[in-house]
A = this chain, B = another copy of it.
């Protein structure tokens, strides 16, 4: 039997899975904590692959990684939550060790591929996937092709300017969508407004999270509600931009924040109606929650290997 190795390199958890090319149910998954040292990550991954490759002949490997990657060069450019992974040639190292194609891909891109093939996006040729949690990331599929750009850096949905000179973003720029509509940004807005003297039921809290803000908003806290309204408003504005640029038939929203239906998802959808330049952009458009949860990236990495290239069209029409 042939096997495909898919890796999900998370900030806290590392998963290495073996798949048969014919099934999205993994044959076996090895889970460990993500090591904190650069070289230990490769050791941990290769130890897992050494174990898994007894299951069959290795066809290829793909690792879904947090942060930007350069797939063409097999390099992790950086990983925000894993120190020391700057310019780390994980793809090259895996390819050298196992003698099969091995690629490194952004995890949100792989989640888009996973949702397209096995999740909420099945049957769609033009798909946007956004994940909204501590940050905002995403992936785009146009005409059944994953869009990664010249150096693998496309689809950074969190990093468009929605408010010139607005709040500081994790990337160092100002007024990006991530700096206003991510969970981190929602919590920070409430914290800053409380520090500026605004009343809130969260005034005595330390380390306020987006979840705390959601709970307070549901209990009627005006500041908490305002924080979500603001996040939803700018997400709607950014979403209109994305529709005008990509004209998808489906937008899939993943991540914890977008699960707050009445606080975030629904107000965003209502505002979006008013912000598109033509109702044609909303024609037959679905905006839906992601279906695959934490498995999206791992499944996407599996799909990516099974497609070999980023041209996804053939598989879309096949019956695996």
- Point out residues on A near B: beta carbons under 8 Å: 68, 77, 125-126, 140, 142-143, 145, 147-157, 159-164, 169, 171-173, 176, 237, 240-242, 244-249, 275, 277-278, 280-281, 283-285, 310-311
Contact = CB atoms under 8 A, between A and B. Distances in A.
Contact of A278 (B68, B126, B148, B278): B68
A162 B161 contact: yes
A242 B143 CA distance: 19
Nearest to A125: B150
A26 B247 CA distance: 33
**Count of chain copies:** 2
B156 A149 contact: no
Contacts of A125: 150
The secondary-structure label for the interface of chain A is loop
6 contacts: A143-B145, A149-B247, A156-B245, A160-B245, A171-B278, A173-B240
Given A143-B147, A310-B143, A247 B126 contact: no
Contacts of A246: 147, 149, 154
Contact of A277 (B145, B152, B159, B285): B159
Contacts of A284: 150-151
Given A164-B162, A164-B163, A164-B237, A151 B280 contact: yes
B241 A161 contact: yes
Interface centre among A145, A150, A163, A240 (most CB of B within 10 A): A150
